[in-house]
Chain A
Amino acid sequence: MTTPPDKPKRRSALGSDPFLKVVREDETVGNAIENERETEEIISPSEPPPRQEKSFENDPEFKATKKTLEDLGKELDEFHRDPKNYNRKKLEGLVKDFIFELKTLLVDSGYFARIREAMTGDRTSWTGVLKGLRRFIQSDEVDDYGLDRQFEMAIKPFFDFLYYKYFRIEVSGIQNIPYEGRTLLVANHSGVIPMDAAMMKVAIFNEHPARRDLRFLVDDFVFHFPFMGTIMNRIGGVRACQENAERLLNHDEIVSVFPEGIKGISKLFKDRYQLERFGRGGVIRLAMKTKSPITPVAVIGAEEIYPLIFKSHILARPLGLPFIPFTPLFPFLGPLGVIPLPTKWKIHFGEPIQFNQYSSKDLNDDILINRETEALRQRIQAMIKLGIEERQSVFGM
């Protein structure tokens, strides 16, 4: 799509909208641009789309960041090729450069101020910020599953930043998510600190015309830790168990599950995008029992944010964690190592699979369930393969 030179190129919140897609296929390019403006007005959601900043691409600071990112990408590619003989010094220097530039970029673009404003309603005073931190230990009115709308809106600018600016997520197939009714999203799980669930939530909220809420199932161990369990719960996560999933689906919610579980997030870098076993068929059983369609989802790019080169189970045991990750950056750079690599993401929602034809007695047919589970796994694997073939580079610069 060509853009007029005077109009700054923008990544629209509705960029991958299903309606636009149809228009683009049928009409000529010139008409499509006009239609884009119209459709944007017609289906503009109840809340305004995120404020557009001044054009990032022409900003000298952004150019500097982009240059560092390109270098970083090259270095990482080199690291992928030969991790054993790689000299880490250069990479560390580049990451430090990158973080410094990113900081300037963020402060200038006013993202920090916006996050602070959303948290506190106050742009200027730092006592307001302290008051805003109250939200992390106290809740407001919540819904039946503990989702706190005010808290969610307060931290949304941070996730919007990750979504639009950091991972530059491209979404396709959003039309496969219905306007109402239950849906089970099944996706590949990745990233040592899994951000895919949160990004899928932001994607559906920002891109889907109905602005639906996504509920995600969170592994047990999270709820043992202070803050983590409560915060997950306040932004729409519930403990991953059959009872919760069934209840949510019976109340016509969108539920996302990651059947790979812990095995998925602890995948070594060399095993990336190789789907692990899909549990014991709980997903298919759930879909059959609640008669909900399954939408397979492929998340591309998320598996490279923390290149896991080694994991220790022994060190993790006393902490109650499933494993301790070792990435090229993590224990060596200290807290800076927790910052994920800025890969470019693509989230593809596949076509829904219906399970209406099965009756309750099929629930006991283990062979059938295993076959369906394997078919689903193959389908998501194929979607991932296609996505990887399509992309130009990991960092998408």
Chain B
Amino acid sequence: MTDSEDKKSSPADKLNEERSFMGKLDPTDKIIVVGAHTILGEMLIHHLEKNESIQDYWVIDLHAPTKTTYKKMHFIRLDLIAPGADAKLADQFEKIGATVLVHCASKNNPTLNWVYAHELEVIGTLNLTSAAKAAKLRKFVFCSSTVVYGASAKNPNYISESYPLASRPDAHFVKDKVDAEKQVAKLYEDAPQMTVTVLRFCLILGPRSENYFTELFRRNVVPTILGYDPLMQFIHERDALEALKIAVFEDHRGPFNIVGKGIIPLSYALRLSGKVQLPMLSFLAYPTVQLLWNLQAVAVPGRLLDFFKYLWVAEGEKAKKLMKFEARLSSKEAFLEFAKADRLERYSLAS
């Protein structure tokens, strides 16, 4: 991208350009969003509330979203991992006559309580897929992440959708996401009439995003691994919402990588945002960070350090070709937007 192009439109202007949708959603379609407290779920609900072509929508979660009053929303309190949840879910789907299910209920952060995380990610997804199968839904949209490919020295520079998922990940966080994807992949065979869309988002950055990465990068001193400078890929949260909207309103089958344009080296991103780097020796970093993680002093377990060391950049060509989705902001711009919002937040907190 040249400078002249940059001057023409600021990131904010770029984000306001919206693409028109090919096929309009059938007015009889009834949308269910699972997971109202994840960033994607929250943004989608906001959009559905604003969208005039939608009369009603349903939200399933443990707690109702309370940030604003949602007039069109019907809230259903259901625990995805309670025994018999799949039957209850199927009953609800049939009662509503639901046709579209958007599954965003997955963890953004690794957690020490990995048993609960496993239940939520894998068993929760299993319950949802079996309920969707029983209720014969028309469409199932699953929000996954590119961490399922795993970070390794053996990855190609750009990972396409057909690349095998991480086979033996030793971090629970990655393992659960891979298992959840496998549950959803079974739907391709078990329910061939259902449109199953899997969106694999790279790291979502933006003013509101909260994940293990943002937690680390909101600090002033950021630990890095000496001698390793991986290429990173970010997507702005509003670009991520755009992709999710396309998946909900149009029919696209199969997995898609949803990524920002271009890449940025980790060290360059840190330097741009004025953070201080603390390079650590690789073999010392893993046990140290694992110890700090066990004490809950950092947001990342030692095993996830691979993601700050090796490549895990995904290829966005398929989404561009089939979904006609192209991120409006590059990885660099997305990171700068995040850094800007972070700085503003500090300033307002200080004053």
Contact = CB atoms under 8 A, between A and B. Distances in A.
Contact of B160 (A139, A148, A241, A243): A243
Given A223-B153, A224-B153, A137 B227 contact: yes
B271 A138 contact: yes
Interface of B: 153-160, 163, 225-229, 231, 262-265, 267-268, 271, 277, 279, 282, 310-311
B160 A230 contact: no
Nearest to B154: A220
A137 B157 contact: no
A243 B155 CA distance: 9
Interface residues of A, number: 26
Contacts of A223: 153-154, 310
A139 B156 CA distance: 20
B228 A243 contact: no
A139 to B, nearest CB: 4
A144 B262 CA distance: 6
Contacts of B263: 142, 144, 146
Given A139-B267, A146-B265, A227-B227, A247 B157 contact: yes
A226 interface: yes
A138 B153 contact: no
A140 to B, nearest CB: 6
Interface string A225-268: 11111100100001101011001000000000000000000000
Contacts of A241: 154, 156
Contacts of A243: 156-160, 163
Given A139-B229, A226-B227, 17 more contacts: A137-B279, A142-B263, A142-B264, A142-B265, A146-B157, A146-B231, A146-B263, A148-B265, A223-B153, A223-B310, A225-B227, A226-B226, A226-B282, A228-B227, A243-B158, A243-B159, A243-B160
A232 to B, nearest CB: 12
Nearest to A145: B157
Nearest to A226: B227
A243 to B, nearest CB: 4
Contacts of A230: 227-229
Given A142-B263, A146-B265, A243-B158, A137 B153 contact: no
A247 B282 CA distance: 31
24 contacts: A137-B229, A137-B277, A138-B277, A139-B229, A139-B267, A140-B268, A142-B268, A144-B263, A146-B157, A148-B265, A220-B153, A223-B153, A223-B154, A223-B310, A226-B228, A226-B282, A229-B228, A230-B228, A239-B155, A239-B156, A239-B157, A239-B311, A241-B154, A247-B157
Interface string A143-172: 011101000000000000000000000000
Given A239-B153, A239-B156, A137 B267 contact: yes
Contacts of A229: 153, 228
A82 interface: no
Nearest to A227: B227
Contacts of B159: 243
A138 B154 contact: no
Closest 6 pairs between A and B when the two form their complex, measured CB to CB: A226-B227, A243-B156, A223-B153, A139-B265, A138-B267, A227-B227
Interface of A: 137-142, 144-146, 148, 220, 223-230, 233, 238-239, 241, 243-244, 247
A144 B158 CA distance: 10
Contacts of B226: 137, 226
Contacts of A139: 229, 265, 267-268
B231 A244 contact: no
A146 B282 CA distance: 21
A230 B282 CA distance: 14
Contacts of A233: 231
A391 to B, nearest CB: 38
A244 B156 contact: yes
Contact of A141 (B268, B282, B310, B311): B268
B275 to A, nearest CB: 12
Contacts of B271: 138
Contacts of B229: 137-139, 230
A141 B153 CA distance: 22
Contacts of B265: 139, 142, 146, 148
A140 B155 CA distance: 23
Given A144-B263, A226-B282, A138 B157 contact: no
Nearest to B267: A138
B293 to A, nearest CB: 22
A138 B268 contact: yes
B44 to A, nearest CB: 31
B79 to A, nearest CB: 42
A48 to B, nearest CB: 25
Contacts of A140: 268
